[in-house]
Structure 1
């Protein structure tokens, strides 16, 4: 969860295997550029091109996030032209597990999986449920298997309020 220009972004990643492949390929130009720098002992345009590709791949990799707007959920994908907005009232159900959330909406009838870390997932679900246009249901599918971080968070927040 990051606040940029007054708007809160909840970052997600693709499936673990795709994420490992992507981040491995995005680090490759940096290592090639460092190898070229070591071999030549002078800075050439090829080294600048490799570092530019590395920075570009990192930027695209971090361009996956949700943003809750007034009545829409903006889903930014790695490709800037494929991002989509769905109506919050069209979301029928969200399954929450320890590793990911699965969103069921009219745009995703079979559900779409988004891998998220623990705290951004918790804040995203809280903010989505508090939205007045949300009419779906939240289902904790692996509730209390390892650690219920929702219970832990609410226990901590109730202590700080008192």
Structure 2
């Protein structure tokens, strides 16, 4: 969860196998550039191109986030042409697991999976439920298999309020 220019973004990643492949490929130009730098005594254009490619791929990789607007959920992906806005009132159900959330709406009738870390997922779900346009349901599917982090969070919050 990052707040930039007053807008809160909740970052997500693709499936673990795709994330590993993408991040491995995005780190490759940096290592090639470092190898070229080590082999040559001067800095050449190829080294700059490799580092610029590395920075570009890192920027694209971090460009996956949700943003809750007034009545829409903006879903940004690494492909800038595949970003979409869906109406919050069209979301019928959100399944929450330890690793991901699955959003069911008119745009995703069979559901779409978004992998998120624990705290951005928790804050995203809280902010989405507090939105007056949200009329769907939240389902915790495997919250009792491992540690129930929602209960853990609320117990810590209750202790801090007292």
Q: Secondary structure at the match of 1:82?
A: coil
Q: Does 1:47 align with 2:47?
A: yes
Helix, strand or coil: the match of 2:81? helix
Which whole-Å CA distance do the structure 1 matches of 2:6 and 2:60 have between them?
21
Equivalent position of 2:73 in the other structure: 73
CA distance in 2, matches of 1:51, 1:21: 19
Supply the distance in 2 between the matched residues of 1:42 and 1:104 (Cα, whole angstroms): 55
Between the aligned partners of 2:150 and 2:19, the Cα distance in structure 1 is: 26
Equivalent residues in 2 for 1:124-139, closer than 5 Å: 124-139=124-139
Give 1:17's aligned residue: 17
Q: Cα offset for 1:80?
A: 1.3
In structure 1, the residue matched to 2:31 is 31
Which residue matches 2:82?
82
In the TM superposition, residue 25 of structure 1 has moved relative to its aligned partner by 0.1
Q: Partners of 1:143 and 1:124 in 2: how far apart?
A: 17
1:59 aligns with 2:59: yes
**1:161 Cα deviation (Å)?**
1.0
Structure 1 equivalent of residue 92 of structure 2: 92
**What CA deviation, in whole Å up to 9, does each residue of 1:88-137 have, x standing for no partner?**
00000000000000000000000000000000000000000000000000
Output the CA distance in 2 between the equivalents of 1:6 and 1:161: 26
Q: Does 2:151 align with 1:151?
A: yes
What is the CA distance between 1:10 and its match in structure 2? 0.2
Cα deviation for residue 39 of structure 1 reads 0.5
TM-score, normalised with respect to structure 1: 0.99
| Aligned Cα root-mean-square deviation (Å) | 0.5
Provide Cα deviations, 1:39-98, integer angstroms capped at 9, x if missing partner: 012100000000000000000000000000000000000011210000000000000000
2:104 — aligned with what? Answer: 104
Identify the residue that residue 2 of structure 1 maps to in structure 2. Answer: 2
Q: Which residue of 1 aligns with 2:122?
A: 122
5+ residue gaps, structure 2, are none
Q: Aligned to 1:107, what secondary structure does the other structure show?
A: coil
TM-score, structure 2 as length reference: 0.99
